[in-house]
Amino acid sequence: MKSLSFCLSVVVLVIAANFTSPVLAEPSTLSLLSRSSVNGAYYVTLDGRDSRWLRAKGVLVLGASAPDYAAFDMTNNNDQMEGVTVDYAQLVADLLGVRVEIRRYDNRGEVLDAVRKGEVDFVGTANEFETQSPNIVLSHPYANDKPTLITRKGDSGDLPVDLKGKTIAMLYHYISPDTVRAFYPNATLQVYPSMLGAIGAVAFGQADVYLGDSVSANYLINNNFINNVELADFSRMEVRDFSFAMSNANRTLIRVVNAAIDAIPVSARMEIMNRWGAGGESMPGKQRLNFSDSEQRWLDEHPSVRVNVVDGYPPLSFFNKNGEFVGIANDVLSKVSLRTGLKFDIRVMPSVPAMVENVGNNDSEFIATLTPSSERQRVLHFTRPYMTSPYVLIAKANADISFTLEKLAGKRLALTRNNDMREWLTSNAPKIQLVDADDSEHAMRMVVHGGADAMVGPLIVSNYTVNHRFDGQLRVVSTIGNDLARMAFATSRGALELHSILDKALLSIPPEEMDEVTNRWRNDVMIEDSYWTRNRTLFIQAICGVLVLLVLALVWVAYMKMALRRRDEAERALNEQLEFMRVLIDGTPHPIYVRDRNGVLLICNSSYLNAFGVEREAVIGKATVKLLYPEDARSYEEEFQRIISMGSPMVRDREITMQDGRKLEIYHWMLPYRDSHGEVGGVIAGWIDISERQALVGQLREAKAVADEAKERADDANRAKSLFLATMSHEIRTPMNAIIGMLELAMKKADQGVTDRFAIEVASGAARGLLDLIGDILDIARIESGRLSLSPERANLRELLESVLRVFEGVARQKRLSLILDLDFQMQSDVLIDPLRFKQIVSNLLSNAIKFTQDGQVRLSMQACPAKKSQFMTVALVIEDTGIGISDEDQQSLFSPFTQASNNTQSGRSGSGLGLVISRTLCEMMGGRLLMSSVFGKGTKVEVHMSLPTLEPLVELPGMMPLEIAPQHHVLNVLVIDDYPANRLLVSQQLSHLGHRVSDAEDGERGLQAWRSQWFDVVITDCNMPVMNGYQLAQAIREEERTKGLAPCLILGFTANAQQEERIRCITAGMDDCLFKPIGLEELKACLDAVAPVVRSEVKTSVQSSNKIDLTSVEQLTRGDKASIKSLIDDLSTANEEDMARLIKLFTKNDLNALSDLAHRVKGGARIIRAQRLIQCCERLEAVCSGRDTSQLAEAVDELQQEMEQLADMLSLYMA
């Protein structure tokens, strides 16, 4: 409030000479610095005449007038312009496909004349003021103009609506003065050449209220006058919004600019206004900087940079009382560090000239904060400013309120050396005598002590220095000049890379983020001076006095040394002896003490005192048995008296309890000592704390127990593994016996010319059973080692339960248990469930039931009924056994990890105790629950209740059934590649049996050569082969197909690794599918029949389309919801119709890149419904576009168009 009252008491008049310039200067050309771009997000449609006009035009010239219009068009010291208008101009240029140049004139009249003459195409930030100029029209508005009233802090409460008796300050070209005077007839209007001068006049008492638009006013308050003025009200005046001003003769320009403005979406407009509105918040490090190679090398070579700063320049640059560098410059350096990775080594310089000289000599890399001037720019290279502040005039507090720059004629004005206002003052106030000062504080001291009549400095620094160091002596009386003090980084002229890096980093900081930094420091907060700064003179005087006293003390000490030297020599021998005894006793790290025969403590060391936590004075000369617990004290006293009476030492381990409750295990020794008469005079005793040793022994015992327990668990696990392997060995050997035996009989009979079909069928059935068993074992292995996550898919609960049961039949049979499966035979619907996790639950529960049952039976039953929700089914799974059961107290903790029933040793059972925990967790993840009841000695019952989504049976849509084509009508050329001769021979024989032409190769390299020599419809390859494996082969074939524009052939992987991961790996490598060994004739035939309609023989024929689509993926995505499926199909149908229209349009334009992108887009939708023929047509079109071979383009587009039409018919049938 004190600072506010001070600011309110100052009144200053703005220099009238700033309004006009008698000589018209040439306009300056500025570059456009925009943070907005279209990037193809939206566009504008123009007719051919306008497009030709724009192409011929090429460049639009944007006019601007000096001085800056805050937030809309602002310049920096790099001859760049930025702001709301600049961002909109860039968007208009992007939409119209032209460049924008900026020409800046001295005033508004000049730039409007340039528009009429055709030198400038359009002018931004225009409203009704510009419409009063002849032949000028406005475009559609791009920013709202809401007139705003601004007053000094605390004056907004008594502001009348009609501003009666108030003085209004306004920018001369904001609104027509006649319009303002007509609206506010009882107020006095003063116009200013700049917004800065107008709002500054209000801030320092020259005017009562500022009238301007809300955006620029808010921007100026937050950046320059946040402690001086405030928003009072909105004016009721009706004004036009901000637009671009153009000549009414250029109708084409008006038309295209309006079209471009109308095309800019609301989101882009909001982004611009948020950026420049009022210092909004932002997150550092979001912009990614793009450095050139030389800049990146510079950053790599200079991870740490030396930065020069000066102290005592708050709030820009100063050190707090803890010696830490703080201020606006430090905050900006932190943001630059985040964006560049640079570390800054802060170096304090005594003055600004020393700082400039240091950087000029390359002793440091750059200066943290400095305002540019012509003299400084000769040796330094300034970055774009990161903060601006108006220059103000500071005079004595008793100066007249009308004290202005004009009244300083013939007087002295203090100014820091190389200040950029020096040239302006020399030109505009030549009669003022300028006096050099080292810094702002030095200049103010000159004013206080009469060395100068006033001084000039930035407002943000002057406010703080006046309020905190010259309060009541100086005050701010006026703003001067039209330009701002621009605080920037300064590098040496040769540091081009560093200068570019710093400029890019500053440019990446959004204005609202920079506003947040400056606003925090602009607040009139107390920045605590260091104690040294406030009392430096007193400190120097005190130090001098202390030095004098110190000299006197040294003289006195020397005198006393001479007087005491003889006494010291006499006592030295005794002291040495005492010191020896003290070190001997007190230096021992274990407690030592001496007692006389009455138990009085004579001597003790520090370790003794620390053990009991007492002071030496509290125990010396006293009987200290009270330091122990009473029982320990009595025991100790008895032993002490026994040693005194018997004269024999005592050494033993004992436990003592201190008064604070601590218990110590000690090795205690007490030795009697005798006097000159041979009598026991007392004891010399001590102890060694062995508590840690005892604790270590206890830990070793516990560790041994843990290790023994771990060994026992490992042994139990090993025995369980052995049991499982033995059981599986039995289960595997049983079918193997049938296979080997029957094949041996069949071969014997074959030698006699007899075909034993029965033996072969028995062997085949046993082999398939063995294959199922191996698959079940792999499923159990996946369950035991799988991650705890769910992957729902279509499954049949009956099949899942039977699969799990087959694995445990051998274990149950070995234990002579009856394993009973009782299922609800009416339950035939498929459900959406994670089959692997469901089998894991059943496996865990069934394994526990068999493991803990010695005789009797284990029953697995499941019932199902419809849930309350029609699309769900409630499932109840019950597993009962006649085992030993579980006690009630064990059931309370059985679902904790690593917990088993305490009676588990009754059956030699073992396990980790995690099965029930995992099962219950999985049940809860599936939305179910797991319950257990048990009677000790009779058995256990576990219930699993779930509510599962049911799925409709998969039904082929009308017209979507694959055509049954006789094998002889689709004879395929098939290439078989396998390094194992038996497998290669088997597949070749199977394919020949099916009526196909077969070629083979023994590795991938030879297979690739064979593929190159002739056309093959299908390639069947082993995945793991020498020289070139199947994955590399598939990649090589696909690459050549894309390069040469060939139609893709069907590639099938063939492997014994029956894992889903292997199928994914094959498809990733470029294969169409993966077959698992062994494979039968029917499965192989079905696989080739399914793709036969989409492959071609060596002779080129018309390719027929497979009219089958598969909606399984859609059902899984929608969890079987019919409404969602229909919605998805509707969207797919709509997209298909739009893509067909785009296909023809792009084909007529011969746009290969767009055709390739469209084919890729269509292929994505086709993969969802597994329309294989459509996928292949898309891939062929992509290959043709990538190969730039247009000879097959028409054919590829025609095939894709036909397939898309067939897909449209099929989708229409489904939606009907």
**Residues 137-175: tens digit of each pLDDT:** 999 999 988 898 999 987 876 788 889 999 999 999 999
Question: Does the structure show a pLDDT above 50 at 285?
Answer: no
Same fold for the pair 691-785 and 967-1094: no
Which pLDDT tens digit goes with each residue over 684-712?
A: 898 888 877 777 887 888 888 888 888 88
- The reply to whether the predicted model has a pTM over 0.75 is no
Asked if pLDDT for residue 445 goes beyond 50, the answer is: yes
CA distance 288 to 292: 13
Write out 1102-1161 in H/E/C secondary structure.
Answer: CCCCCCCCCCHHHHHHHCCCHHHHHHHHHHHHHHHHHHHHHHHHHHHHCCHHHHHHHHHH
Confidence at residue 742, expressed as pLDDT on a 0 to 100 scale = 79
pLDDT of residue 567: 81
User: What mean pLDDT is reported for the chain?
Assistant: 81
Q: Measuring CA to CA, which residue among 609, 594, 589 is closest to residue 688?
A: 589
For residues 608-633, give the mean pLDDT: 77
Q: What is the pLDDT of residue 534?
A: 52
Hey, is 480 helix, strand or coil?
Answer: strand
Q: What percent of the chain has pLDDT over 70?
A: 84
Give the pLDDT confidence score for residue 604 in this predicted structure: 87
Residue 86 burial by Cβ neighbours in a 10 Å radius (0-12, 13-18, 19+):
buried
Lowest mean pLDDT among 786-800, 1032-1046, 1107-1121: 1107-1121
| 967-1094 CATH | 3.40.50.2300
State the residue for tokens 């009392």.
Answer: 535
In this prediction, residues 483-492 reach a mean pLDDT of 90
Mean pLDDT of 391-414: 85
Q: What's the whole-number mean pLDDT along residues 555-568?
A: 85
Q: Which two tokens stand for residue 92?
A: 């208009």
Residue 204 exposure: Cα atoms within 13 Å on the Cβ side = 28
Q: Read off φ and ψ for residue 778, nearest 5 degrees.
A: -65, -40
Q: Is the pLDDT of residue 186 over 60?
A: yes
DSSP three-state, residue 72: coil
Average pLDDT (736-762) is: 79
Give the per-residue pLDDT at 895: 61
| The predicted structure's pLDDT at residue 2 | 36
Q: Where are the domains of the chain?
A: 33-143+243-276, 146-233, 543-583, 587-689, 691-785, 790-800+815-951, 967-1094, 1112-1215
Per mean pLDDT, which range of 39-53, 353-367, 370-384, 578-592 is the poorest? Answer: 578-592
* Residue 1098 pLDDT grade (very low, low, confident, very high; cuts 50, 70, 90): very low
The encoded tokens of residue 267 equal 């989101």
Determine the pLDDT at residue 218: 81
C-beta of residue 1035 within 8 angstroms of C-beta of residue 1070: yes
If pLDDT is split at 50, 70 and 90, which confidence band does 865 have?
confident
1087 compared with 189, residue with greater pLDDT: 189
pLDDT at 255: 95
Residue 77 carries which side chain, given as an amino acid letter? N
How high is the pLDDT of residue 18?
A: 38
CATH code: domain 587-689 is 3.30.450.20
Read off the pLDDT of each residue in 590-609 and give the average, rounded to a whole number.
86
User: pLDDT per residue over 574-592, tens digit each?
Assistant: 777 767 777 777 778 888 8
Q: How confident is the model at residue 262 (pLDDT cuts 50, 70, 90)?
A: very high
Note the helical H segments in 128-250. Answer: 128-131, 177-183, 195-203, 214-223
Report the pLDDT value the prediction gives residue 893, as an integer from 0 to 100: 62
Rounded to an integer, the average pLDDT of 740-767 is 78
The full length of the chain comes to: 1216
Residue 781: pLDDT band with limits 50, 70, 90: low
- Reported confidence tier of residue 542, pLDDT bands at 50, 70, 90: confident
pLDDT of residue 535: 55
pLDDT value for 19: 36
Of the candidates 161, 129, 146, 152, the one whose C-alpha atom is nearest the C-alpha of residue 199 is 152
d(CA 457, CA 441): 10
Q: What's CA 285's distance to the chain center, in Å?
A: 11
Pair of tokens at residue 88: 């909109």
Instruction: Evaluate if residue 507 carries a pLDDT over 80.
Output: yes
Q: How far apart are CA 711 and CA 217, in angstroms?
A: 79
Q: Please, which pLDDT band fits residue 1107 given cuts at 50, 70 and 90?
A: very low
Neighbours of 782 (CB within 10 A): 14
Could you give the 3-state DSSP secondary structure of residue 619? helix
Secondary structure element (H or E) that encloses residue 689, with its range = strand 680-689
Q: How many CB atoms lie within 10 A of CB 408?
A: 20
Q: pLDDT at residue 522 above 80?
A: no
CATH 1.20.120 fits 1112-1215, yes or no: yes
Least reliable range by pLDDT among 169-173, 1003-1007, 1059-1063, 1134-1138: 1059-1063
How far lies 31's CA from each of 72, 100, 371, in Å? 15, 9, 22
Cis peptide before 1078 (omega within 30 of 0): yes
The pLDDT, as a whole number, for residue 283 is 30
Q: Which ranges of 224-265 does DSSP label H, i.e. alpha helix?
A: 251-263
How confident is the model over 222-253, as pLDDT tens digits? 777 767 888 777 788 888 999 999 999 999 99
**281 versus 234: which is more confidently predicted?**
234
Mean pLDDT of the region 469-493: 88
Q: What is the pLDDT of residues 1134-1163, one digit of tens each?
A: 888 888 888 888 888 888 888 888 888 888
Q: How far is CA 1155 from the centre of its chain?
A: 36
For residue 773, the model assigns a pLDDT of: 62
Question: pLDDT: is 283 or 955 the higher one?
Answer: 955
Q: Is the pLDDT of residue 111 over 70?
A: yes
In this prediction, residue 1188 carries a pLDDT of 59
pLDDT-derived band at 857 (thresholds 50, 70, 90) equals very high
Position 892 scores a pLDDT of 67
Q: Which residue has the higher pLDDT, 871 or 91?
A: 91
pLDDT tens column, 874-925: 889 999 999 888 877 776 666 654 445 555 544 433 443 446 777 787 888 8
pLDDT for the residue 799: 84
pLDDT reading at 754 higher than 70: yes
Q: What percent of the chain has a predicted confidence (pLDDT) above 90? A: 22
Question: What's the mean pLDDT in 346-357?
Answer: 89
Alpha-carbon Rg for the chain in angstroms: 47
In the numeric block, the tokens 């040796």 are attached to 379
Per-residue pLDDT of 795-829, as tens digits, reads: 888 888 888 888 788 778 888 888 888 887 666 77
One CATH from 3.40.50.800, 3.30.565.10, 3.40.50.2000, 3.30.310.160 for 790-800+815-951: 3.30.565.10
Task: Please report which residue ranges of 9-78 form alpha helices under DSSP H.
Answer: 48-57
CATH code for the part of the protein at 146-233: 3.40.190.10
pLDDT confidence of residue 488:
93
Under CATH, what is the fold of the domain 691-785?
Helix Hairpins (1.10.287)
Give the model's pLDDT for residue 785.
53
Tell me, what's the pLDDT at 412?
Answer: 93
- Which pLDDT band holds residue 185 (cuts at 50, 70, 90)? very high
Position 280 scores a pLDDT of 36
Beta-strand relationship, 325-326 and 229-234: unpaired
pLDDT above 90: residue 1014: no
If you average pLDDT over residues 669-690, what whole number do you get? 86
**CATH number listed for the domain at residues 33-143+243-276:** 3.40.190.10
Average pLDDT over residues 839-852: 85
